[in-house]
A = this chain, B = another copy of it.
Amino acid sequence: MPNLQEKPLKTWLEIPNDTDFSIYNLPYGIFGSSDNPQKRAGIRIGDYVIDLSALAYAGLLDTLAFDIQVFEKEALNDYISLGKHIHQQLRARITELLLLGNEELKNQADKILIPTKEATMHLPVRIGDYTDFYSSEEHATNVGKMFRDPANALLPNWKHLPVGYHGRASSIVVSGTAFHRPWGQIKPADQNMPLFKPSQMLDFELEMAFIIGKSTPLGQRISTSEAEDYIFGLVLFNDWSARDIQSWEYVPLGPFLGKNFASSISPWIVPLETLEPFRIESPKQSPEVLPYLKFEGQKNYDIHLEVAIQAQNSQEKIVCQSNFRYLYWNMCQQLAHHTVNGCNVNVGDICASGTISGKEKESFGSMLELTWRGANPIPMPDGTERKFLHDYDTVIMRGYAQKDHIRVGFGEVSGQVLPATEYVGLPK
């Protein structure tokens, strides 16, 4: 593959200067197009989707030795399973085809490059298991202050292990999917009995997530030094949360209905390798971690993140600016911990970071923290204010890394809150 850091790479394709989807990125997704709704694999460049099946059938991938049917599947799992060696070959070839001076693709671009406005994005992978970590010290501290003991906000285990739990895979949806405000049990502090009603404290959580790129058998551990081999790429992740449902249900076995009504991911999986230029030191960990959680080198990444809320018929308001670098526990530690007991992972599994909050108030990654449980509402452009999310609000998360001329972005993950449905189906 060309050395991407040496000099700017130029493509013959017209793409916006500030695009998240530069020639350095080339993220993978599953799409259908207006003239062919069949789900299939694509790579994004600027405002185009490269139709990988079409590229292959045009003979432009003939130098690569794998079954091109992997591009015709409804999920990327089979392609991912081919391994990093194949991914690197494909990416090198696609970079070559896009470089200024190469005319192979340029001459057949009509059938192969689909304008993004003609593409519908789908879930990129068939998700086996979904794990959610809790790896931001500031988020865990903020939540601990609000819900437990302000003087001992961080629980005793937090600095010794990357706390995580299993979430619901079936209700992970792709960006753009609206969902209804969930009903649930809510117990007001001043009452003895819970009520059954729609959540009044619906929230987002700003997270990133990595997709497993290589399966392990049951019983095999992944060390921190091996972990990157098992990470295919990253997406933005909105872990929608109903705070009132969650706070009543979560003791002692953790969040359940307060989370599993929906979680949203961005459609383009940014390969881990593209983030190489953005590596950065991790926060210093103290007390010292156990040997299996130690690591060498730079394992955090400098990725700017932001969250906007858009009320119906109004403008966006950016409510949070954060950074993936703030995480106390990095992905390699998360994966080493996850598998240290022999738990197996499969291609397509998702591990989310937990809410990514920084030290400054403006960097808090949830409404819960931004409004301090509703005490400090956020003023909106239309004159209303927000303690938590209102019906018809759309939440949009964006993220990108930039260094000199190299920009690698994630696009966005958005989702709209629809009103709670009328409750029907109660037994007589």
Contact size range, A: 35 or more
A residues 273-307 in Cβ contact with B at 8 Å: 287, 290-292, 294-296
Please state if A291 and B342 are interface contacts (CB–CB under 8 Å).
no
A148 vs B184: C-alpha distance in the bound complex, in angstroms?
26
Q: Does A42 belong to the interface (CB within 8 Å)?
A: no
Q: Does A218 belong to the interface (CB within 8 Å)?
A: yes
Contact pattern, A 175-216, Cβ under 8 Å of B = 1, otherwise 0: 000011011110100000110100000000000000000000
A245 vs B160: C-alpha distance in the bound complex, in angstroms?
13
Which of A129, A155, A349 has the most chain B CB atoms inside 10 A of its CB? A129
The quantity of this chain's copies bound in the complex is: 2
Please state if B166 and A340 are interface contacts (CB–CB under 8 Å).
no
Please state if A248 and B157 are interface contacts (CB–CB under 8 Å).
yes
A228 vs B338: C-alpha distance in the bound complex, in angstroms?
35
Closest to A338 in B: B257
Please state if A253 and B163 are interface contacts (CB–CB under 8 Å).
yes
Chain B residue contacts of A349, Cβ below 8 A: 170
Please state if A254 and B165 are interface contacts (CB–CB under 8 Å).
yes
Interface of A is mostly: loop
Chain B residue contacts of A196, Cβ below 8 A: 290-292
Q: Does A115 belong to the interface (CB within 8 Å)?
A: no
Please state if A166 and B168 are interface contacts (CB–CB under 8 Å).
yes
Chain B residue contacts of A251, Cβ below 8 A: 155, 157, 252
Please state if A166 and B260 are interface contacts (CB–CB under 8 Å).
yes
The interface of chain A, by Cβ under 8 A from chain B, is: 128-129, 132, 134, 148, 155-157, 160-161, 163-171, 173, 179-180, 182-185, 187, 193-194, 196, 218-219, 221, 223-226, 242, 245, 248-257, 260-262, 287, 290-292, 294-296, 337-338, 340-346, 349, 421, 423, 425-427
The 4 closest A-B pairs by CB, nearest first: A254-B254, A182-B341, A165-B253, A223-B425
